[in-house]
Homo-oligomer: A and B are copies of this chain.
């Protein structure tokens, strides 16, 4: 697999004669997109990343898609699958949420075609969970989860991000979604409250982070977090931590609180899916709290894109190596 920067015209990977492009899949989020050029058996011919998230392209979604992937269709018509916030109200076209529990087949049956002058484009719909009188949603993570699930029947998946998603799978169906605003609250606290004023940029400080994790997980009620946050200020005020250590303490506090709530009694191991710098933070936090976890493959969603395309009849009868 080739990863490269925001330069759709460059091609690093030699395409062999056997590597016919059968599917283009694009994980198109709020601030970035990632495009995969795939063979029918799930081999990745090429990967492209770009900062052209849905908020960056000023509504010109079709043109942006053309720019990033059209050269991949030189050897004929290739279906294009999109997932992520591109299917939201702020994206190209708002697709209705499917409701949990939801299987991969149900996602494949609900693809929404979009108008494009030359490409055959379909969006994978997002999912909603209306359990216990609460509403939760995701767009894009459903593909990553089915990819990370691979051949398994059940799992508990954590997808770190600005909003981290916890997704439970039973009998190969997504049954539960829980979103935590951890990353966005961190940024708001750091940039827009008194806590940030005491902080300096510092290198990664694992001990401060682990201390935060333990403190964030230590208390018994939701409101305790509002008190612990003030503790970031007093830790600075009384020189318990240096200004450069406070950011990681705050990060640990919030991630520790999230983990302790979401992982429950820790009886089910958590699979962390993603490749951002947050993955290592969550792994360290899980270690601090003795929560069993493993890391999912970083490009696992490829298998799910292929499986969805096949279930939707977009790939014909070619063989499957990576399908789930």
**Chain B nearest Cβ from A191, distance in angstroms:** 7
Contacts of A188 in B (CB 8 A): 185, 188-189, 192-193
Choose from B163, B180, B223 the contact partner of A262 (Cβ within 8 Å).
B223
Query: When A222-B219, A229-B185, A258-B226 are in contact, do A136 and B179 touch as well, CB less than 8 Å?
Result: no
- Check A229/B189 contact, CB under 8 A, given A219-B222, A221-B257: no
Q: Are B230 and A179 in contact (CB under 8 A)?
A: yes
CB <8 Å contact, B223 and A220:
no
Q: How many copies does the complex hold?
A: 2
Residue A1 at the chain B interface, CB threshold 8 Å = no
Among A11-19, A140-148, A234-242, the stretch in contact with B: A234-242
Question: For A182, what are the chain B residues with a Cβ–Cβ distance below 8 Å?
Answer: 226
Most buried by B among A178, A234, A238: A234
Q: Give me the interface of A with B, judged by CB distance under 8 Å.
A: 128, 134-137, 163, 178-182, 184-185, 187-189, 191-194, 216-217, 219-231, 234-235, 237-238, 240, 254, 256-262
Contact sample, A vs B, 18 pairs, CB 8 Å cutoff: A135-B231, A163-B230, A181-B230, A184-B193, A185-B226, A188-B188, A188-B189, A192-B192, A217-B223, A220-B220, A220-B222, A220-B261, A221-B222, A221-B257, A222-B261, A223-B260, A223-B262, A224-B261
Taking the closest CB of chain B, its distance from the CB of A106, in whole angstroms, is 20
A77 CB to closest chain B CB (Å) equals: 36
Is B222's CB under 8 angstroms from A257's CB? Answer: yes
Chain B: minimal CB distance from A53 (Å): 14
Q: Which 8 A-B pairs have the closest CB atoms?
A: A223-B261, A223-B257, A135-B234, A222-B225, A188-B188, A180-B226, A179-B230, A222-B257
Are B225 and A179 within 8 A (Cβ)? no
With a cutoff of 8 Å between Cβ atoms, the chain B residues found around residue A128 in the complex are: 238
The CA of A226 and the CA of B261, in the complex, are separated in Å by 9
Given contacts A135-B235, A136-B234, A225 and B223 within 8 Å (CB-CB)? yes
